Chain A
Amino acid sequence: MQKFSAWSLLKQSFGGHQGWQPQWRRASPKPAYDAIIIGGGGHGLGTAYYLAAEHGIANVAVLEKGWIGGGNTGRNTTIIRSNYLFDESARLYDHALKLWEHLSQVLNYNVMYSPRGVMMLAHTVHDVQVIKRHVHANRGNGVDNEWLSPEDAKAFCPPLNIESNIRYPVMGAALQRRGGTARHDAVAWGYARAADALGVDIIENCEVTGFKRDANGAIEGVETSRGPIASRRVGVVAAGHTSVVLGYAGIKLPLESFPLQALVSEPIKPVVPCVVMSNSVHAYISQSDKGELVIGAGTDAYTSYTQRGALHVNSHTLEAICELFPAFRRMRMLRNWGGIVDVTPDRSPIIAKTTIPGLYVNCGWGTGGFKATPGSANVFAWTIARDEPHPINAPFTIERFRDGFLIDEAAAAAVAH
């Protein structure tokens, strides 16, 4: 692996930057691996990286049906935070946040993690109560979160409208200062490059179409569009397509797949210094380094695999943005897109063993799993390597729905980004 540094940049500049090598090999499938990861998003690539880096399992293939990072990893609005209500979630998301803090150094790849602060707005008395409850619960869990008055919120984010003459005036906000954003593509590429350097094969254009089982029912390998590949350990990390992939093994999970959209504006000078979220009026906004306003819209009402969504969903969000930021009313939107997100009934993920020996699943991240990428990958690698969950993901089982141990962030937040 060519290391990135000021020195290597200088050295390459003498050669007119013609000496850079591809950042990972274009691998073809070998007949067998010690572990196979299905899905080359951030969670899958990260899992392969941690298997090799922390568990000594480097004979691993990541199988991606399209190109890596082409799923939700490359389609999300990159909001990172860990101020979830329940203890289990706080541990999981804060584990990720702590890994974000050093990820660029660890991977030697700039993932542009920017802890610019995530501000969550309250617009009703109910919002104020719920958000204050979150603040206290978070602080009890060692997760930073603080309550801001409307004036403090405006001081932190000057373009915010805190006048009382709008339909849902800002009544205060919670601020997680360690929250922020990161560059989504760089997360996929950084993990791919680091995993590849440790020996992991990253195999694109390779769709998994079935599983092979031995006489006892245990996993023996997968069928793919590029032929069969053997492995006794297979991790499924296929986000919106998890139901389809696990369907090949006859497993049904409590998941539904919905289109979720985002859009960006024309680029403008720096104006939004942080991330602003509002669950009540459904608006999410931040500004990219290129200057585009990055706006997250909602999900469509119905399940779908179309990777697009209805225009009225975007209009709804833009109406809310225009009330909160009247200065943006005349701006033009450049493009919009959708991703397919896999939603569980309690809006918490599943990171667990399945009923089939050798088959593991990491899914259900729904509308909000980008922030968890390093943490999720880290504990999933542990789960696959040791055939038992890490203490952090132990509560995130499939059986919790049967046994009544929901981790009900759905009820806590109604939506989650």
Chain B
Amino acid sequence: MLVIDCPYCGPRPELEFSYGGQAHIARPANPATVETSDWAAFLYLRSNTRGLHAERWRHVRGCARFFNALRDTTTDKFIATYRTGEPAPAIDSRGDR
């Protein structure tokens, strides 16, 4: 089980969290002008990165807040967690800034 560092509450066991998929996917600002293929991409295409992955988590059985994380999907190691609205920290997968 992973230990996840909620930016609001601190480190807690994975069971308190739910996973929210890839982070920083912005809904199109002007939906009326969006092409079908772009809608499909918005709905279905994910980076599925092998390596450093920016993703959403929710501390659902804690503070209940959403936040974002950078995790290395080859080791499951969390490199950073950060609050919603903040940009992803510029870090490589070894955790060096």
A245–B19 Cα gap in the complex (Å)?
A: 25
Q: Are the CB atoms of A241 and B45 closer together than 8 Å?
A: no
Is chain B's interface secondary structure helix, strand, loop, or mixed overall?
mixed
Cβ of A306 within 8 Å of any chain B Cβ, yes or no, is yes
Cβ of B63 within 8 Å of any chain A Cβ, yes or no, is no
A403–B39 Cα gap in the complex (Å)?
A: 10
Q: Are the CB atoms of A345 and B73 closer together than 8 Å?
A: no
Residue of B nearest to A254 (CB): B44
Residue of B nearest to A253 (CB): B45
Q: Write out the residue numbers on chain B whose beta carbons fall within 8 Å of the beta carbon of A256.
A: 21, 46, 48
Q: Write out the residue numbers on chain A whose beta carbons fall within 8 Å of the beta carbon of B36.
A: 402-403
Cβ of A86 within 8 Å of any chain B Cβ, yes or no, is no
Q: Are the CB atoms of B15 and A302 closer together than 8 Å?
A: no
A305–B39 Cα gap in the complex (Å)?
A: 27
Assuming A243-B50, A306-B75, is B1 touching A311 (CB within 8 A)? yes
Residue from the set B19, B36, B46, B74 with the largest chain A CB neighbour count within 10 Å = B46
Q: Write out the residue numbers on chain B whose beta carbons fall within 8 Å of the beta carbon of A252.
A: 41, 45, 47
Cβ of A304 within 8 Å of any chain B Cβ, yes or no, is yes
Q: Are the CB atoms of A302 and B50 closer together than 8 Å?
A: no
A403–B47 Cα gap in the complex (Å)?
A: 21
Q: Write out the residue numbers on chain B whose beta carbons fall within 8 Å of the beta carbon of A303.
A: 46, 48, 53, 55, 73
Range, interface on chain A: 20 to 34
A372–B48 Cα gap in the complex (Å)?
A: 24
CB distance from A311 to the nearest CB of B (A): 7
CB distance from B92 to the nearest CB of A (A): 17
Q: Are the CB atoms of B48 and A257 closer together than 8 Å?
A: yes
Residue of A nearest to B55 (CB): A302
Residue of A nearest to B51 (CB): A305
Q: Are the CB atoms of A304 and B1 closer together than 8 Å?
A: no
Q: Write out the residue numbers on chain A whose beta carbons fall within 8 Å of the beta carbon of B45.
A: 252-254
Q: List 25 A-B contacts (CB under 8 A).
A: A252-B47, A254-B45, A255-B48, A256-B21, A256-B48, A257-B48, A257-B73, A301-B14, A302-B19, A302-B76, A303-B46, A303-B55, A303-B73, A304-B73, A305-B50, A305-B73, A306-B74, A306-B76, A310-B14, A311-B1, A312-B1, A312-B14, A345-B43, A401-B43, A403-B36
